[in-house]
Amino acid sequence: MADSHSIEKQLQSLIDGCRTVILATASSDGLPNASYAPFVDHDGSFYVLVSGLAKHTGNLLSTGCCHALFITDEKDTVNVFARKRLSYNCDAIVVEIHGKTKSDSEARRADAVLTKMEDRFGPTIKMLRSLPDFRLIELKPSDGTLVLGFGQAIPVYGRTLAS
């Protein structure tokens, strides 16, 4: 197995190679939902801008958690049974973008994240952020697993290898 620095670089490379994250959420009644959302990576967390009309948004708001999956594209994989992937348990935290924010630091964070989103996804973000039902949600990763191939499942905590 490669050294920890090399593995952490592969972890970041996998995240950098994805433009969307697959979200596994559950309703407050425990009903599962699989979906996806475009994301940006900022200060160790992932941020999604999601519609209040989407089932996953209601689930994120009611439970405050989700499972996030980053996975290589099938077309870039030699063997679909061994796709490189990274999955995390995440806390889901609303970042206020409409009306009064909780603090100046939260307002600066929201502006920085939304600017990153505009840079990455274009002018659609400017329109979406103005819609009252859209929510900016921080997905704060905790424990997870990085799979680099057969027999290469590596426990991680955030961006580092779990001890």
pLDDT of residue 103 exceeding 70, the answer is yes
For 61: left if phi > 0, alpha if psi spans -120 to 50, otherwise beta; the answer is alpha
pLDDT of residue 163 exceeding 80, the answer is no
Which CATH number do you get for residue 100?
Answer: 2.30.110.10
83 touches 13 (CB < 8 A): no
Into how many domains does the chain fold?
1
User: Please, what is the average pLDDT of the chain?
Assistant: 92
Rounded to an integer, the average pLDDT of 149-154 is: 92
Which residues are CB-contacts of 99 (< 8 A; sequence separation ≥ 6)?
none
Question: What is the Cα gyration radius of the chain?
Answer: 16
Provide the CB-side half-sphere exposure for 67 (13 A, CA): 13
Identify the domain containing residue 108 by its residue range: 4-157
138 touches 95 (CB < 8 A): yes
Two tokens, residue 80: 């679909």
Whether 105 maps to a domain, the answer reads yes
Whether 162 maps to a domain, the answer reads no
pTM of the predicted model, to two decimals?
Answer: 0.93
pLDDT level of residue 14 (50, 70, 90 thresholds): very high
